[in-house]
Chains A and B, each alone.
Chain A
Amino acid sequence: MTQQMTSPEHIEYVLRLGDNALILGQRLSEWCGHAPVLEEDMALANMSLDLIGQARMLLTHAGRLEGRGRDEDQLAFLRTEPNYRNLTLCELPNQDFGRTMVRNFLYSSFQKLLWERLMTSSDAELAAIAAKSIKEARYHAQHSGDWVIRLGDGTADSHARAQGALDYLWPYTAEFFATTPVDDAVAAAGVGPVWSELETAWEALVMPVLAEATLTVPARTPFRSYGKFGRHSEHMGHLLAEMQIMQRTYPGAQW
């Protein structure tokens, strides 16, 4: 790896990508043994594994860029809540299968577009991770997209649950495209894309599926979430407690 000055924004950006994958991967793992049918139990566990694998690559990369000797485990398990930079959407509770699928659809559609763009990042390692992850994100988006249509355009109960999930989750999607100084810096350096372009592409991707699912897209609200700045929802602390307990109890423990 070439030694060059890496901006703090660049490190934070990679950390954010790693945290998104880690936290949603942790959430999806909660389904293991609890999904409505065996096939979906395996699907959710596999998607969780994909995300945790992506998190390992991204956090390892962030740790190297940072140059303070922190590895993937230290970054994943030994930070405190305000130091996680994931989108709030990723940490929200799974609730029912419907909300889990609607979230996966909104998020993996975003990820698919983001990885496509990061494949040409000026950060070669990030571009390699993106080329690997895009192949996984495509299947996640296909899987959840099929379920959103099946549930939305399904029974009265499944429709009501899918609509409730969309109403609940929609305001959090604004954070995908919220531009911060970190986003400006990485866009200027050719590391990451400009969000405004991605937002248009994302809407073009998700709107037809939501329409086919007979779901009503809520209006944008003034509510803003701030996970990118480390200000998390009340759900984050509980998730971290469960995820970190082994490393906190046995510091330095390895598999």
Chain B
Amino acid sequence: MSGATTAMLTEARAWQVLEAVPDPEIPVISVTELGIVREVVATATGLRVVVTPTYSGCPATEVIAQSIRDALVAAGGGDVTVETRLAPAWTTDWITEPAKEKLRAYGIAPPGGDAPVGPQPIRFVPKKLACPRCGSTDSVRLSEFGSTACKALYRCRSCLEPFEYFKPI
């Protein structure tokens, strides 16, 4: 590699690259919009990226780390390491506002921006969620868990379509 100048990515450029890395489960939003990329630091030989998992057992975590590594390496990021950081724990409040709109357009009711902090009552009275398809608030919860741990399953009683709700945590 004689004489080749190592053109490393700047941190700002690395963030731009990551804006195009989709979440594997919900491809309409990126890993940055989801709020799981916490830090990007330029190092002597490349980049160090810090991510935080959404849920402890989320099976997408390893795929996400690999996608981040692949995208940054392909963009010339050099040695890319991806670290996991647990604290502070991820919250749906970190999902950006434009991403919430994208979720709605994709058919997933976005989290209400009311992530519970501190002690919660054990009984959970489901909110009247607006159906992401027709907007009706006449909805009923079918299950506390949907196709992934981060979502609950609802049904709209106006248009009769089922839909998922990104649960606030």
Contact = CB atoms under 8 A, between A and B. Distances in A.
A129 B89 CA distance: 8
Nearest to A57: B56
A205 interface: yes
Contacts of B68: none
A43 B58 CA distance: 14
Interface stretch (A6-14, A64-72, A130-138, A174-182): A130-138
Contacts of A112: 122
A53 B57 contact: yes
Contact of A54 (B56, B89, B91, B143): B56
Chain A interface size, as a band, is 35 or more
Contact of A49 (B57, B122, B123, B144): B57
Nearest to B86: A128
B89 A132 contact: yes
Contacts of B58: 49, 53
B149 A128 contact: no
A215 B139 CA distance: 30
A112 B116 CA distance: 13
B53 interface: yes
B144 A139 contact: yes
Contacts of A203: none
A42 interface: yes
A46 B56 contact: no
B70 to A, nearest CB: 19
Contact of A129 (B86, B120, B123): B86
Given A42-B145, A50-B55, A146 B123 contact: yes
Interface in B35-65: 53, 55-59
Main DSSP-derived SS at the A contact region: helix
A49 B149 contact: yes
Interface string B112-154: 0000100110111000000000000000001111111100010
A53 B52 CA distance: 13
Nearest to B56: A53
B169 interface: yes
B56 A133 contact: yes
Contacts of A42: 143, 145-147, 153
B1 interface: no
A131 B89 contact: yes
Contact of B143 (A39, A49, A129): A39
A53 B148 CA distance: 14
Interface string A141-169: 11101100000000000000000000000
Given A43-B145, A205-B122, 6 more contacts: A51-B57, A53-B57, A135-B169, A136-B149, A143-B144, A143-B145
Interface of B: 53, 55-59, 86-91, 116, 119-120, 122-124, 142-149, 153, 167, 169
Pairs of residues from A and B, 7 with the lowest C-beta to C-beta distance, nearest first: A53-B57, A53-B56, A49-B57, A39-B143, A128-B87, A43-B145, A128-B86
Interface of A: 25, 39-40, 42-43, 46-54, 56-57, 109, 112, 116, 124-125, 127-129, 131-133, 135-136, 138-139, 141-143, 145-146, 205, 209
23 contacts: A43-B144, A47-B145, A49-B55, A50-B149, A51-B57, A53-B53, A53-B55, A53-B57, A54-B57, A57-B86, A112-B122, A116-B119, A131-B86, A132-B89, A132-B90, A133-B56, A135-B91, A136-B149, A139-B145, A142-B124, A146-B144, A205-B122, A209-B122
